[in-house]
Each structure stands twice: as structure tokens, then as C-alpha cells.
Amino acid sequence: MKRSEINLAINEALQFFEEMNIVLPKWAYWKPDEWKNGERAIGDIVENGLGWDITDFGSGDFERIGLINFNTRNGSLIDLDKPYCEKIIVVKENQITPNHTHIIKKEDIINRGGGNLVIQLYMGDFEGNLTNKDVTVKIDSIPVIVPAGGTVTLEPGESIYLVPGVYHEFWGENGKGRVLVVEVSSVNDDATDNIFVNTNPRFPTIEEDEAPEYLLVNDYKNYI
């Protein structure tokens, strides 16, 4: 991804959050120079990957395949002192998050407003292989059986509970606008806990065509 794409995506997300009455932590708005103050790098923010996470999953086409995350809370798989994670996510119309599952993470994906979220579901193993088995999930705590490759559509206020082995690909429904998604899960480690069907890289390679306005979680090692 180009840094200019990332800057634009974050600024558009901030505008959307404001429209949806979402207020982020103060450090969400820090500029790169502010992170260089060592005292601001303490705590969970850097160690547990809190902050902006913008990716095109290596596609080179962010508008078609990509995601905007802001990680607000997360623990560590090492000590599990904080055994949960929360993400605030922007999903654009027809913008795909590629088919994947997790080894450890269990999650609720919640549509908090805006458009509708479409999720395609499969069962599979932990090597990226899908099966033809039906998928049993819980939508707002009610069990639902979905055929392999079938989709569910979450309207604002609805949620789905997913466990390891349930592969999911999602996007914003065409014509319904951007979706404000909140993910509540067990501890999240995006560096090790994602298995993609098509071996998509989780984090992008960044072309620095302009200076960063905000840091991504994968920028911290280079700036702090």
C-alpha cells in the first residue's frame, strides 16, 4: 500500500467515527513525533498492538480487498492478565476481508451501525483447507445452521459468534453504505493467529510516497 492511501483511509475513518459518535483514546490522534517521546510508549499500547491497523492483505487494491481496524484493547497471550480484545472496524461497501480463520481467537463480530455486513462461512482445518460441511454459528446467541459457502447478513444491532475452524470472509453490502463493526474477542495476535485460504499477508508492504500522519501498529518498531 502507499502511505498516502493509509493516511486517507485513517482520515476517512476518523470522519466516519465522528458521524457515528465514536470517540477514540487520545493516543489515536498522536502524530509520529509525539510517539517518539519514550514515556508515551509505555504500557500495553505498543506491546499488545493497540492502535491503527490498515491493510490491503497484499492485494495492491485496498478499495477491493482491505480493512480499517482500530485496536482499542488487547491482552497478551503470554500472561493472559487481560484475556480479551476489542476492535473498532470500518467495512466499506464491497470491500472484502479475505477468507480466514483463527487458531485460538474466539470472537463476536457486531454490526454497530451504518450499512449491512455480509459474511460468507465455511468449516475448514488449520492449514487453509475448506470442507463442504454445514456451519453452525450463533447469531445474537441463537444457533443458526449455514450451508458451506452460504452467507449471513448482519443488520445494525446484530452479531455473530465465531470459533476457531469457522472460516469467514466479509464485506459491506452493496448500496447500504459503510458499516461500523465492533469485534469483541479473546486475546488477539494478528502476527500468528490468522490462517488465510489464499495465504494473504496480514500486514501490508508500505510504499512511503508521503510522510505518515498517524502510526500503524506495524510502524511502532520503526518510530519508537
Instruction: Quickly count: other Cβ atoms within 10 Å of residue 12's Cβ.
Output: 14
Are 115 and 173 a contacting pair, CB within 8 Å?
Answer: yes
How far apart are alpha carbons 216 and 100 in whole angstroms? 22
Q: Is the pLDDT of residue 42 over 80?
A: no
The grid coordinates listed for 85 are 480484545
Are 67 and 168 a contacting pair, CB within 8 Å?
Answer: no
- Structural domain that includes position 144: 3-223
Tell me what pLDDT residue 78 has: 81
Tell me whether residue 143 is exposed, middle or buried, using C-beta atoms within 10 angstroms of its C-beta: 0 to 12, 13 to 18, 19 or more.
exposed
Of the chain, the percentage scoring pLDDT greater than 90 comes to 85
Tell me what pLDDT residue 34 has: 86
The pTM (predicted TM-score) of the whole model is 0.94
Confidence of residue 2 (pLDDT cuts 50, 70, 90): very high
Residue 22's domain is classified under what CATH number? 2.60.120.10
How many domains in the chain? 1
Are 111 and 154 a contacting pair, CB within 8 Å?
Answer: yes
Q: Is the pLDDT of residue 107 over 80?
A: yes
Question: What single-letter amino acid sits at 80?
Answer: L
Confidence of residue 30 (pLDDT cuts 50, 70, 90): very high
Tell me what pLDDT residue 36 has: 75
C-alpha torsion angle, residues 165, 120, 204, 189 (rounded to 10) = -30
Phi then psi for residue 80, to 5 deg, are 55, 30
Tell me what pLDDT residue 40 has: 56
170-183 confidence digits (pLDDT tens): 999 999 999 999 99
